[in-house]
Amino acid sequence: MQDYVRRILTSSVYEVAQETPLEPMKLLSGRLGVDVLLKREDLQPVFSFKIRGAHNRIAQLTTAERARGVICASAGNHAQGVALSAARLGVRAVVVMPTTTPAIKVGAVRRLGGEVVLHGEGFDAARGHAVELAEQHGYVMVHPFDDPDVIAGQGTIGMELLRQHPGPIGAIYVPVGGGGLAAGIAAFVKFLRPDIKVIGVEPEEAASMKAAIAAGHPVPLDQVGLFADGVAVRQVGTETFRLCSELLDDIVTVSADEICAAIKDIFDDTRAIAEPAGALALAGLRRQVERGEVPEGALIAINSGANVNFDRLRYVAERAEIGERAEMLLAVTIPEQPGSYRAFIQLLGNRSISEFNYRYAPGASARIFVGIKLTQGEAEKQHIITMLEQHGHAVIDMTDNEVAKLHVRYMVGGRVADLGDELVYRFQFPERPGALLRFLEGLHDGWNISLFHYRNHGADYGRVLVGIQVPPAESGQFIAHLEAIGFPFWDETDNPAYRQFLDAETV
């Protein structure tokens, strides 16, 4: 560790990087009952900590090596660090990136002057191609994590943390991909403050360091999930494994839903949007706090980056509340008869409904897909399930069902044979607790609901699509009834989307 501490103290990172703030997360701290601090590496010039290690490595090159140019393989953040550092030092930089790399990262590397080569579907394929190009053209390889100078550059974060928070620190949570960041921070912190726990955090679908420690040496994973692409590494480095296996106090793995919840936590406290890998450490911190497994003192999480494609946020928003156990998803069986929906919603009382999907099917029972907001976590979820079962409803908990969350919730529907007199209307009402119940109470029990779709999108207004069987002779009465409810509505019976996919009469 002495050698790494010397390298860290004499590193060249501040020629391009900056000392980032250590910010208190007041909202999350209040909710968890512990002092949570966030190291804002997302504020670096390339929106990631990777600039530290990349520049420290390139700055050590000899004049002859700089003339040859550098090459690296990266899913994006290391690539931007290499491109920026090389541009500052007047060195040619070739960057091999997986074809699955988010477009925002590819574009950023090109704008910084890097020559991008897209190859392979993951980091390992890109790295193999980078090695081939280095051998063919004589480029100097700048490894993203398994290099002492890179590790030392990342370790400057540990140096800053101890200076910025001289008081008691219980644990530092660090995202782990290849292990360079965790190795560097642990080397410095454990040398000066061995009482502080340094805990690595990995995605469940890319836990390469956990697998290496279990095996006693680096091992390749059979497959790696790409949601947290910044840490999607199939096999950790030899040197990073040596350091992490000796210095890390624990490895925590978290789900994609927990990462999404942590992204939301960071936004709520800072109004900044972290990439999945950037929120990974905070997700691990939350998991340990919720399990009562944290030491006394401040808890620090590293926000390692903010390079996320904007369209990825749709998925994040969809899954964040499930990840923080603030939403439950249920499949519930209710009687297939008028008035059943209203009775079901009445059972739920003033709880906020986040989703309600149904399509008529012949038979005595109706199956609905419902999302319910939670304020008291798992205990409240179990209470709701028990209450529904006591009222005679069959209930299946879908909260952790990946097929339900990714696909089935959007596929509840289809055409129904012999479904006559169906009208389809779209409604809009203020999004507040009880609004959905008020809407259902306004519908007449004599008209059967044959289709229902509602999803809370976080907007001021809730939007519902409803199919109702209304005999033609009662159409005037039906419209008068809708007007009396007082919510804006639109007739969508002739909408081509309905005609093509939901109307039983369409050939």
How much is the pTM?
Answer: 0.79
Residue type, 450: S
Shared domain for 397 and 435, answered yes or no, is: yes
358 and 246 together in one domain: no
Identify which has the larger pLDDT, 433 or 319.
319
What DSSP state is assigned to residue 48? B
Residues 311 and 423 in one domain: no
pLDDT digits 0-9 by tens, 173-221? 999 999 999 999 999 999 999 999 999 999 999 999 999 999 999 999 9
459: pLDDT strictly greater than 60:
no
Instruction: Tell whether 192 and 302 lie within a shared domain.
Output: yes
Residue 363 backbone zone (phi > 0: left; psi -120 to 50: alpha; other: beta): left
Predicted pLDDT at 68: 97
At residue 120, the pLDDT reads: 87
The predicted structure's pLDDT at residue 56:
97
Max mean pLDDT range (13-22, 324-333, 495-504) = 13-22
Q: What is the pLDDT of residue 318?
A: 77
Q: Which residues contact 327 (CB under 8 A, 6 or more apart)?
A: 321, 354, 371, 372, 373, 374, 399
User: Average of pLDDT values for 106-122?
Assistant: 91
Q: Identify whether the C-beta of residue 265 lies closer than 8 Å to the C-beta of residue 299.
A: no
Backbone φ, ψ for residue 273 (5° rounding): -110, 115
CA distance 345 to 183: 52
CA distance 266 to 268: 5
User: Is pLDDT larger for residue 346 or for residue 152?
Assistant: 152
Nearest C-alpha neighbor of 361 from the set 422, 415, 411, 407:
415
- How much of the chain, in percent, has pLDDT values that exceed 90? 55
pLDDT at 399 over 90: no
Asked whether residue 353 falls in the same domain as residue 266, the answer is no
Q: Based on the domain organization, do 137 and 153 belong to the same domain?
A: no
Torsion angle of C-alpha atoms 43, 49, 54, 59, degrees rounded to 10: 60
The residues facing 115 across adjacent strands are 94
Stretch among 7-11, 311-315, 379-383, 394-398 having the lowest mean pLDDT: 311-315
Residue 465 in any domain: the answer is yes
Residue 384 falls within a domain, yes or no? yes
Output 406 or 67, whichever has higher pLDDT. Answer: 67
Of 106, 141, 176, the residue at which a domain comes to its end is 141
Q: Are residues 28 and 170 in the same domain?
A: yes
How big is the chain by its Cα radius of gyration, in Å?
Answer: 27
Residue 467 lies in a domain: yes
* CB-based contacts of 475, cutoff 8 Å, min separation 6: 423
- Full 3-state SS string of 154-211: HHHHHHHHHHHCCCCEEEEEEECCCCHHHHHHHHHHHHHCCCCEEEEEEEHHHCHHHH
Provide mean pLDDT across the span 216-232. 90
Q: What percent of the chain clears pLDDT 70, i.e. is strictly above it? A: 95
| Structure-model confidence comparison of residues 223 and 440, the more confident one | 223
Assess whether 33 and 55 both reside in one domain.
Answer: no
Q: Which domain holds residue 101?
A: 50-141
Looking only at the bridges linking them, the beta strands covering 365-373 and 327-335 are antiparallel
Catalytic residue among 245, 304, 340, 352: 304
pLDDT > 70? residue 407:
no
Q: What is the pLDDT of residue 456?
A: 67
More confident residue, 240 or 396: 240
Residue 239 falls inside a structural domain: yes
| Residue 48 annotated as catalytic | no
Burial of 87 (0-12, 13-18, 19+ CB in 10 A): middle
Confidence of residue 426 (pLDDT cuts 50, 70, 90): confident
230: which 2 tokens? 């910044």
| Residue 312 token pair | 């990825």
Q: Give tens-digit pLDDT for 132-141.
A: 999 999 999 9
The answer to whether 97 and 116 have CB atoms below 8 angstroms apart is yes
Mark out the alpha helices in 354-407 (DSSP H runs).
Answer: 377-390, 402-406
231 and 120 both lie in a single domain: no
| CATH code assigned at 12 | 3.40.50.1100
Looking at the structure, tell me whether residues 158 and 302 fall in a common domain. Answer: yes
Q: Is residue 301 part of a domain?
A: yes
Mean pLDDT, residues 149-176: 97
**Low-confidence winner among 168-172, 227-231, 353-357, 467-471 (lowest mean pLDDT):** 353-357
98-to-111, 308, 375, 487 alpha-carbon distances in Å: 18, 15, 41, 50
Mean per-residue pLDDT, 322-341: 83
Of 318, 348, 370, the domain-final residue? 318
User: What H or E segment, with its residue span, contains residue 441?
Assistant: helix 435-442
Question: For this structure, is 304 an active site residue?
Answer: yes
User: Looking at the 3D structure of the chain, how many domains does it have?
Assistant: 3
Please report, for the domain that includes residue 434, its CATH number: 3.40.1020.10
Residues 41 and 56 reside in one and the same domain: no
* Averaged confidence pLDDT in the chain: 89
Shared domain check, 367 and 239: no
39, 50, 264, 381: which one is catalytic? 50
User: Which two three-digit tokens encode residue 341?
Assistant: 């929906």
Residue 83 lies in a domain: yes
Is residue 455 pLDDT above 60, yes or no?
yes
Cβ atoms within 10 Å of 499's Cβ, excluding its own: 14
> What is the β-pairing status of strands 422-430 and 461-469?
antiparallel
pLDDT band at residue 172, thresholds of 50, 70 and 90? very high
Distances (CA, A) of 264 to 19, 55, 254, 259, 400: 25, 31, 15, 9, 19
Residue 394 CA, distance from chain mean position: 32
Quick check: 507 pLDDT over 50?
no
Query: Is residue 21 assigned to a domain?
Result: yes
Give the C-alpha distances (Å, rounded to integers) separating 301 from 9, 213, 261: 22, 22, 14
Instruction: Look at residue 369 and tell me if it is in a domain.
Output: yes
pLDDT given for residue 334 in this prediction: 87
- Residue 153's SS3 state is helix
Query: Considering 257, 289, 318, which residue would you say is the last residue of a domain?
Result: 318
Return the pLDDT at 460: 61
